[in-house]
Amino acid sequence: MWNVDLRLGHFFPGFLVPLPSYPSVAGGFLLLCISIFTLTSPPTYQTQSTLVRLALAPPAVWLFWDFGFETSYNPPGAQVAVGMAVVGLYGVMRIIDTSIVTSIDRVMPLWVHTPTGKVLPTPTSMKDRLAFAIDYAMSLRGTSLFSDRHWNWVPTPLIRFSTGKVSRSEFLMRSLRSIILQYFILDVLDSINKSRKWDTANRFPITSLSILEQILFSISVCVGTTLPIIIMHEVFASVAVALGSSPDSWPPMFDRPFHSTSLADFWSRRWHAIFRRVFVRLSMLVLTFLPIPNGYTRLRIAARAITIFALSASLHVLLMYRLELSNPSHPSLLQTFLDRSILTFFLVQPVGLAVEALAIQPLIVRMFAGEKTQTNAMRVWAWGFMLWSGRYWSDVWVKRGMWGETEHVVGYSLVRGLLKEQWKT
């Protein structure tokens, strides 16, 4: 009767995840929750609990990997495939953290009572242990489903976050306005990106363009990567708040990344912290195999930073490899890892941080008087470097088909509708 095409799958690609893949991700999440549940076992059962976690690790890793990388599920498009791979890899890393890293680092994840800052004891009742397991499994950044607490590993800016005691209705209206604005920006960017046909056979589709075009499309990749994460977070936050959650439990996913005053500020504070916990935890596992004496603190810090960058690079290489798997004659994982654009982008980041600390920052302090002028000069450096290095990741992004004609970023396009009467994308 009502022939209405809501195009929900285009607005929210998560709706396009193939149904046959659901058992894998659900099974992996269940095993993760069980593994976390054993962390709160009484001290007399710690050995048995460790063995249970180790036994659950292989099937859990397989389930998460199957969800993210099994090509027979045939996800409709590169965006859906990458999204599934992100979830799968994140699940694998959480399992390794819970099953193996906890044997090295005995510091328990614990709730902290937000109003008082008091660390809450390990739960003992069945109900509280279940709540602990589910909350910890679902916490990406250290925030909690419960409004009066957070985890003892949450980044400091998220603890200080406050909505100013806004009402639920005001929070929902703010979120709605934000989603509409960001959706419009995405529509503009997608219209620009789709204004030409991209040759995925070209290894350097962005860096082979003119300088102005490289800058334009690098900005588009950066903003186009950020906004979908923000929009999905605000949708989930709105649903949770509408169901009774506190607005203070949902701090922004990013801390104004375009206000970054340096590369260090961008990577340590402004960018999202979704993978920060697992990268830091897995870096501990790597450092146990490096013969660095305990007294060499700076060397250990440098080794950890390099390890975290390597883990981040490996994650993104695997995501791009997942897109290659759709091609029957796809390159090997090693060939993907050695892709010049991928290597360039990730290798120059630690170099940029080192140059910034050793040369750029001292030079700017000497050249400019006044904190505001120095801050603006550092911003110019930081964003100049990010745009320059971002061109290489843009090559990777476009070459793997993320801007293909069949990729849907928005369900309906106001821009293309008004200009070309192409309302449906």
- 322-345 tens-digit pLDDT: 988 877 777 787 888 888 898 889
In this structure, is residue 425 part of a structural domain?
A: no
Same domain, 147 and 195: no
pLDDT in tens, 368-405: 988 899 999 999 999 999 999 999 999 999 998 899 88
Residue 362 pLDDT more than 90? yes
> Above pLDDT 70, what percent of the chain?
96
In this structure, is residue 1 part of a structural domain?
A: no
Place of tokens 């069949």: 406
pLDDT of residue 9: 57
pLDDT in tens, 345-356: 988 888 899 899
Nearest to 161 by CA among 261, 276, 171: 171
Domain encompassing residue 88: 8-160
pLDDT of residue 10: 63
In this structure, is residue 194 part of a structural domain?
A: yes
**Sorting pLDDT into bands at 50, 70 and 90, what band is 211?**
very high
In this structure, is residue 253 part of a structural domain?
A: yes
Residue 2 pLDDT more than 50? no
Same domain, 301 and 391: yes
Same domain, 183 and 150: no
- Highest-scoring range by mean pLDDT, 100-104, 136-140, 158-162, 345-349: 136-140
Cβ partners under 8 Å of residue 313, min gap 6: 342, 346
Distance CA 14, CA 121 (A): 37
State phi, psi for 345 to the nearest 5 degrees: -60, -45
Same domain, 224 and 151: no
DSSP 113: E
Q: 97-116 burial, b if ≥16 CB within 10 A, otherwise e?
A: bbbbbbeeeeeebbbbebee
Same domain, 112 and 241: no
Instruction: Work out the average pLDDT over 106-135.
Output: 93
Give the domain-ending residue among 160, 180, 207: 160
**Sorting pLDDT into bands at 50, 70 and 90, what band is 14?**
confident
Distance CA 187, CA 183 (A): 6
Same domain, 214 and 338: yes
Give the domain-ending residue among 160, 177, 210: 160
Same domain, 90 and 185: no
pLDDT of residue 161: 65
Residue 6 pLDDT more than 70? no
* β-bridge partners, 149: 113
pLDDT of residue 214: 94
pLDDT of residue 303: 84
pLDDT in tens, 181-201: 999 999 999 999 998 899 888
Nearest to 231 by CA among 260, 258, 253, 259: 253
Structure tokens at 418: 């008004």
**Sorting pLDDT into bands at 50, 70 and 90, what band is 49?**
very high
Residue 160 pLDDT more than 80? no
Residue type at 118? Answer: K
- Highest-scoring range by mean pLDDT, 100-114, 212-226, 396-410: 212-226
- Total domains, the chain: 2
DSSP 249: G
Element of type H or E holding 197? none
Residue 60 pLDDT more than 90? yes
Same domain, 237 and 381: yes
Rounded to the nearest integer, the mean pLDDT of the chain is 88
Same domain, 154 and 176: no
Give the domain-ending residue among 160, 188, 220: 160
Same domain, 396 and 269: yes
Same domain, 267 and 145: no
pLDDT of residue 253: 87
Instruction: Work out the average pLDDT over 170-174.
Output: 92
Regarding pTM above 0.85, the answer is: yes
Same domain, 131 and 188: no
In this structure, is residue 3 part of a structural domain?
A: no
Residue 249 pLDDT more than 60? yes
**Sorting pLDDT into bands at 50, 70 and 90, what band is 4?**
very low
Residue type at 110? Answer: L
pLDDT of residue 115: 86
